[in-house]
C-alpha cells in the first residue's frame, strides 16, 4: 500500500508540473500594454475590421499632438510590439504617436477561421491605405509617417509609392532590397568568415550543406529558415549575438502585452503567413528595379551587423533611389533590429527625420 501511495503521489506531482507552469505563464501574461500620465497620452490595444478582415493595433503616445508613425510589422506576419516589453529603453512614443499594425489575421487579429487566401499584396496595400486614412482622420493629420520593418517593408514601401500624398516620408528599417544571389552571397560570406574565425567546422559544414554555388561565384540558399538559423549563430540575426530563441521566441513567451491565448495565436498566425499568396508574391523581387523612385523623402535605417537584410544592399538602394530627400543611417553595434538593440541612436535618427521632413 505504501508503494502504491508513493507512486500515486509521484504521478500527481508529475501531472501538477505542467499545470503550475501554465498558471505561472498566465500570471506573466496579463495582456496589458504600457501606459503614460498626461491628458494627451494614449495607450490602446484593439482589433477592428478593415476591408472585411480583422486587423490589430497597439497605439502608444505621450502626446497625441505629435506626428503619427505607422509601423508596418515584420515577417510579414510577425507582430513587433512584443519587443517593446523586452527592450524597454526604446522610447519612440516620446516623439510620435506610434501605431503598431498587426495586419489581417496576424498577431492579436488571428482567428482559427482566417482566410489565408485573402492575404496577398493587393489586399494588404488596400488595408494599408484604409489604416492610413483612419489614422489621419482620428488624429486630425493631413499626413503621417510610414515605417516598414524587415518583411513589413514590402508593404510600407509600396504603400508610399502608391499614395505619396498620405505620407511625410517613407522609412525602411532593415529594408528588404532584393531576393537574389546578391542577398544570399553577402549572408554566406559573413557567416563563413565568422565560422572560420571561430574554427567552427560543424557550422561551416551546415552552411555548405545549405547552399548552392552558382556560376559567377554567387550563392543561393536551399532552405531560408536553416540559413537564417545559421545567421543567428553567426551574430547577424534578429538581435546581435543572440539565438533565434533568445532574440525572438523568448520575448514572445515572456511579453506582458499578450495573453497566453494571444501568444499561441501569434505563433499560429506566423506559421500561416508562410503559406499565403503574399509569401509567393514577395519572391524574386528587386526594388532597385521595381520601385526606383518615390515622390516622398526616403530614409533607411540598418544595423552594421544586419545580414538578414544586408546593409550594403540597403545603402546601395538609398544611393540609387530617386526621392526628394534621402538618407542612409547605419546603427553601429546592432544587427537586424536597431530600434530595440540601439534605441537611443535609432530614435535620434528618427527625430532627425521628423524635423527635416516636417520643419525642413
CA atoms 22, 23, 28, 32: torsion sign: positive
Q: Each residue of 203-240: pLDDT tens digit?
A: 999 999 999 988 878 888 888 778 888 999 999 888 88
What length is written for the chain?
360
Number of other residues whose CB lies within 10 A of the CB of residue 325 = 13
CB-based contacts of 270: which residues, under 8 Å, 6+ apart? 75, 77, 78, 106
What integer pLDDT is reported at residue 1 of this predicted model? 52
What integer pLDDT is reported at residue 360 of this predicted model? 60
Alpha carbon separation from 268 to 3, 113, 116, 218, 320 (Å, rounded)? 44, 12, 12, 35, 38
Dist CA 322 CA 309 (whole Å)? 21
Strand partners, 88: none
Which SS3 state, helix, strand or coil, does residue 333 take? coil
In contact, 219 and 183? CB cutoff 8 Å: no
Mean pLDDT split into 10-residue runs, the chain, 360 residues:
56 54 62 86 96 96 96 86 78 93 93 92 97 98 97 96 98 94 91 93 92 86 85 89 81 86 89 90 91 98 95 97 98 94 94 89
What integer pLDDT is reported at residue 33 of this predicted model? 86
What integer pLDDT is reported at residue 20 of this predicted model? 57
pTM, full prediction:
0.92
What integer pLDDT is reported at residue 23 of this predicted model? 57
Sort strands 53-61 and 42-50 into parallel, antiparallel or unpaired.
antiparallel
Dist CA 311 CA 22 (whole Å)? 41
- The alpha carbon of residue 2 and the mean position of all alpha carbons in its chain are separated, in whole angstroms, by 57
DSSP E strands, the chain = 42-50, 53-61, 68-72, 97-102, 144-149, 167-173, 211-213, 219-221, 298-303, 326-331
What integer pLDDT is reported at residue 24 of this predicted model? 57
Cell of 9: 503521489
Q: Which residue in this structure is represented by grid cell 514601401? A: 157
Find the DSSP H helices in 163-299: 181-198, 201-209, 224-234, 244, 250-254, 260-273, 277-281, 287-290
In contact, 60 and 93? CB cutoff 8 Å: yes
Dist CA 56 CA 306 (whole Å)? 28
Q: How many CA atoms lie within 13 A of 325 on its CB side?
A: 13
Amino acid at each position: 500500500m505504501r508503494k502504491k501511495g508513493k507512486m500515486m503521489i509521484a504521478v500527481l506531482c508529475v501531472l501538477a508540473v505542467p499545470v503550475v507552469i501554465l498558471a505561472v505563464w498566465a500570471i506573466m501574461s496579463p495582456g496589458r500594454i504600457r501606459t503614460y500620465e498626461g491628458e494627451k497620452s494614449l495607450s490602446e490595444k484593439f482589433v477592428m475590421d478593415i476591408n472585411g478582415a480583422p486587423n490589430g493595433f497597439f497605439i502608444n503616445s505621450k502626446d497625441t499632438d505629435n506626428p503619427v508613425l505607422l509601423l508596418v510589422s515584420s515577417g510579414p506576419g510577425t507582430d513587433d510590439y512584443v519587443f517593446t516589453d523586452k527592450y524597454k529603453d526604446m522610447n519612440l512614443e516620446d516623439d510620435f504617436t506610434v501605431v503598431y499594425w498587426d495586419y489581417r489575421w496576424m498577431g492579436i487579429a488571428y482567428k482559427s477561421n482566417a482566410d489565408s487566401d485573402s492575404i496577398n499584396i493587393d489586399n494588404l496595400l488596400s488595408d494599408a491605405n484604409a489604416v492610413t486614412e483612419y489614422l489621419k482622420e482620428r488624429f486630425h493629420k493631413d499626413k503621417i509617417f510610414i515605417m516598414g520593418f524587415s518583411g513589413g517593408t514590402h508593404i510600407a514601401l509600396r504603400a508610399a509609392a502608391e499614395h505619396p500624398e498620405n505620407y511625410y516620408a517613407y522609412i525602411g528599417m532593415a529594408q528588404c532590397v532584393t531576393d537574389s544571389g546578391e542577398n544570399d552571397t553577402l549572408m554566406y560570406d559573413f557567416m563563413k568568415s565568422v565560422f572560420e574565425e571561430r574554427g567552427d567546422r560543424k557550422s561551416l559544414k551546415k552552411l555548405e550543406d545549405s547552399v548552392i554555388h552558382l556560376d559567377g561565384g554567387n550563392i543561393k540558399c536551399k532552405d531560408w529558415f536553416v540559413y537564417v538559423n545559421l545567421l543567428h549563430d553567426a551574430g547577424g540575426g534578429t538581435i546581435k549575438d543572440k539565438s533565434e530563441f533568445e532574440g525572438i521566441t523568448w520575448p514572445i513567451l515572456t511579453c506582458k502585452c499578450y495573453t497566453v491565448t494571444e501568444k499561441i495565436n501569434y505563433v499560429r498566425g506566423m506559421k500561416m503567413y508562410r503559406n499565403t499568396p503574399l509569401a509567393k508574391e514577395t519572391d524574386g523581387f528587386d526594388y532597385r528595379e521595381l520601385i526606383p523612385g518615390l515622390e516622398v523623402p526616403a530614409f533607411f535605417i540598418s544595423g552594421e551587423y544586419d545580414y538578414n537584410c544586408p546593409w550594403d544592399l540597403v545603402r546601395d538602394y538609398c544611393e540609387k533611389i530617386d526621392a526628394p530627400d534621402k538618407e542612409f543611417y547605419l546603427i553601429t553595434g546592432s544587427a537586424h533590429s536597431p530600434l530595440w538593440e540601439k534605441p537611443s541612436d535609432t530614435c535620434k535618427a528618427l527625430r532627425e527625420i521628423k524635423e527635416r521632413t516636417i520643419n525642413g
